[in-house]
Amino acid sequence: MSDTSVEDHGLEPGQDNVRIMGLDVHNPVFFVSAVLIIAFVIIALIFREGAGLVLGGLRTWLTSTFDWVFMISANLFVIFCIVVAVSPFGKVRLGGKDAVAEYSYAGWFAMLFAAGMGIGLMFFGVLEPMYHFNNPALGVAPPVVDGEVVPGAVADARNMAMSATIFHWGLHPWAIYSVLALALSLAAYNKGLPLSIRSVFYPIFGERVRGWIGHVIDTMAVFATLFGLATSLGLGASQAMAGLNELYGIPNNETTTVLLIMGITAIALVSVMAGLEAGVKRLSEINMVLAFLLLVFVISFGPTVAIITGFFNNTWDYLVDLPRLSNWVGREDDAFVHGWTTFYWAWWISWSPFVGMFIARVSKGRTVREFITCVLIIPTLVSVLWMTTFGGTALDQFLNEGYTGVQQTVVDYVPELSLFAMLADLPLASISSLIGIILVIVFFVTSSDSGSLVIDTITAGGKIDAPVAQRVFWAIFEGLVAIVLLLGGGLAALQAGAIATGFPFAILLVVMLYATWKGLAQEER
Phi, psi of 363 (to 5 degrees): -120, 10
The residue ranking higher by pLDDT, 27 or 456, is 456
Question: Is 291 within 8 Å of 440 (Cβ atoms)?
Answer: no
Residue type, 219: T
**In sequence order, what are the beta bridge partners of 19?**
24
CA of residue 510 relative to chain centroid, distance: 18
Query: Where residue 232 falls among pLDDT bands split at 50, 70, 90?
Result: confident
Which residues are paired to 463 by β-bridges? none
Q: What is the per-residue pLDDT for 24?
A: 67
Of 474, 42, 524, nearest in space to 233 by CA: 474
Query: CA-CA-CA-CA torsion for 309, 310, 315, 317, nearest 10 degrees?
Result: 110
Mean pLDDT to the nearest integer, 24-53: 83
Q: Which amino acid is at 363?
A: S
Return mean pLDDT, the chain.
86
Q: What share of the chain is helix, strand, coil (3-state, %, to 5)?
A: 80, 5, 20
Q: How far apart are CA 222 and CA 209, in angstroms?
A: 16
Question: Stretch 138-143: mean pLDDT, rounded?
Answer: 92
More confidently predicted of 304 and 48: 304
pTM (two decimals)? 0.89
3, 191 contact by CB (below 8 A): no
Are 354 and 474 a contacting pair, CB within 8 Å? no
Q: Where are the domains of the chain?
A: 6-521
pLDDT, position 21: 58
User: Per CATH, is 6-521 categorized as 3.10.20?
Assistant: no
Task: Categorize the per-residue pLDDT at 10 as very low, low, confident or very high, splitting at 50, 70 and 90.
Answer: very low
Straight-line distance from the first to the last Cα atom of the chain, in angstroms, rounded to the nearest whole number? 10
Is residue 23 helix, strand or coil? Answer: strand
Q: Which stretch of DSSP H or E encloses residue 24? A: strand 23-26
- The strand ranges marked E within 58-176 are 144-145, 148-149
How far, in Å, CA of 503 to CA of 225, rounded? 12
What is the share, in percent, of the chain residues with pLDDT greater than 90? 41
- Identify the H or E element spanning 320: helix 304-326
* Alpha carbon distance 469, 365 (integer Å): 30
Comparison of pLDDT for 12 and 446, the residue scoring more: 446
Please calculate the CA angle 348-349-351 and round it to the nearest 5 degrees: 65
Minimum mean pLDDT range among 163-172, 266-275, 287-296, 395-404:
266-275
Residues 3-31, mean pLDDT to the nearest whole number: 61
* Angular region, 251: left φ>0, alpha ψ -120 to 50, beta rest: beta
CA distances from residue 17 to 7, 30, 196, 216 in whole angstroms, order as listed: 18, 10, 13, 16
Cα–Cα distance measured from residue 25 to residue 471, given in angstroms and rounded to the nearest whole number: 11
pLDDT at 311: 97
- In angstroms, the CA 293 to CA 407 distance is 25
State how far the Cα of 437 lies from the Cα of 439, in Å rounded to an integer.
5
Average pLDDT over residues 437-441: 89
Tell which residue, 382, 381, 390, 378, has the closest CA to residue 306: 390
Across the chain, which distance is largest between two alpha carbons, in Å? 70
Q: Is the pLDDT of residue 427 over 60?
A: yes
Question: Which of 141, 161, 160 lies closest to 151 in space, CA to CA?
Answer: 141
Nearest to 96 by CA among 186, 217, 203, 212: 186
Query: pLDDT at position 231, please?
Result: 81
Stretch (H or E) spanning 478: helix 468-487
Measured N-to-C along each axis, helices 304-326 and 282-301 cross at an angle, to the nearest 10 degrees, of 110
Give the per-residue pLDDT at 117.
61
> What's the pLDDT score for residue 457?
83
Buried b / exposed e along 31-49 (16+ C-beta atoms within 10 A): ebbbeebeebbeebeeeee
Render the burial of 277-293: b for 16+ CB within 10 Å, e for the rest.
eebbbbbbbbbbebbee
Residue 464: phi, psi to the nearest 5? -105, 5
Rounded to whole angstroms, how far apart are CA atoms 410 and 128? Answer: 9
Burial, 104: exposed, middle or buried (Cβ in 10 Å; 0-12, 13-18, 19+)?
Answer: exposed
What's the angle, vertex CA 497, arms to CA 112 and CA 59, rounded to 5? Answer: 120
CA angle 456, 459, 460 (to 5 degrees): 80
How does 360-381 read in b/e, with b if 16+ C-beta sit within 10 Å?
A: bbbbbbbbbbbbbbbbbeebbe
Tens digits of per-residue pLDDT, 290-333?
A: 888 999 999 999 999 999 999 999 999 999 999 999 999 888 89
Helix (H/G/I), strand (E/B), else coil: 93:
strand
- The closest of 519, 524, 522, 525 to 185, measured between CA atoms, is 519
Comparing C-alpha atoms, which of 340, 57, 3 is closest to residue 172? 340
